[in-house]
Amino acid sequence: QLSILFQDKCNRKSNQQNLGTIKSSNLCAEIVEYSSPTEIAVCNLASIALPRFVKEK
């Protein structure tokens, strides 16, 4: 599936504007974070299968 991400719009709406320009995002483009030459932004997405942890009384 093709997705389009507008870099200028992401940077205008970013809470990290004071850090610099955002140049990339994760694959689905729902997470954008600033990375620098000395720091790489990471967002780990996960899910939990709640039925495996819920016990009926």
> Which is the catalytic residue, given 28, 33, 44, 56?
28
Catalytic: 28? Answer: yes
DSSP assignments along 16-56, one per residue: TTTT-----B-TTSS-B----SS-----------GGGT---
Catalytic: 10? Answer: no
> Which is the catalytic residue, given 10, 26, 44, 56?
26
Active-site amino acid positions: 26, 28, 30
